[in-house]
Amino acid sequence: MPETRSLIRSVPMVCLCAWLVPGGGYFLIGERSRGATVAVTIIGLFLAGIVVGGIRIMDPPGWGQYGYMSQLVEKYDRHRQRPEGEYSRVDPSSSEEEASPGSDGDKPAGPALLAEPLSELADKPWYVGQILCGPMTLAASALSVHVAHPPAGSTVLAAGGSRAAVEGVPQSHSRSWEIGTLYSAVAGMLNLLVIIDSAHRAGQGKR
């Protein structure tokens, strides 16, 4: 006896719901207990990853250490009095620096995410797994970026005697970061498995 009556059998709709909420695809095709089991497991694993590694394990491509969008600048050669023609990546530590990145004469070339999206993604490939968990990854990433902003006036003495900004909530390191990121990325990969299976079951139900 089927556990519940099937509601919707549209494969794209089931895929979308399965991505929006882990297990949502099963709910849509009427398999509620299966949906509840995977939802609790995947969301639990994702949250466990954040507990182990801290919220800063959510490290979206295009955003830097201090929670501002990484910018590309074209360096200016002061000796020759002209742009070098080479671009470098700047990690702003304030909204002012984000608006006008680089030193005097450098020409801003816009956010690195827009200019070189594949390069940014290649720098943080684990985010591909994490994003498969759905909008909760986006919400956690937004929170991570928000809490990373340096508090006003907080700097430390860096190498060479210069001052460096301090992250609002620092990123974890070593095993904490690795295990936390692994948990959240595996949660996303398991959700991919669930998305495929719920879509397959929805497709079978049509025949």
Q: Rule CB under 8 A: which residues touch other proteins?
A: 3, 31, 33-34, 37-38, 41-42, 44-45, 47-48, 50-55, 147, 169, 172, 174-177, 179-180, 182-183, 186-187, 190, 193-194, 197
Looking at the Cβ atoms of 71 and 144, the one nearer to other proteins is: 144
CB of 65 to other proteins, least distance (A): 16
Q: Tell me whether residue 4 or residue 103 sits nearer to other proteins (CB atom).
A: 4
Is residue 9 a contact partner of residue 206, using CB atoms and an 8 Å limit?
Answer: yes
Min separation Cβ 33 and other proteins, Å:
4
Q: Provide the minimum distance between the beta carbon of 81 and other proteins in the complex, in angstroms, as a whole number.
A: 47
**CB contact at 8 A, 91 and 64:** yes
As measured in angstroms, the least distance from the Cβ of 38 to other proteins is 5
Residue 56 C-alpha from the chain's centroid: 10
b/e per residue, 110-130, with b = 16+ CB within 10 A?
ebbbebbeeebeeeeeebebb
Residue 70 or 144: which CB sits closer to other proteins? 144
- The distance in angstroms from the start CA to the end CA of the chain is 18
Of 87 and 177, CB closest to other proteins: 177
What's the CA gap between 181 and 187, in Å, rounded?
Answer: 10
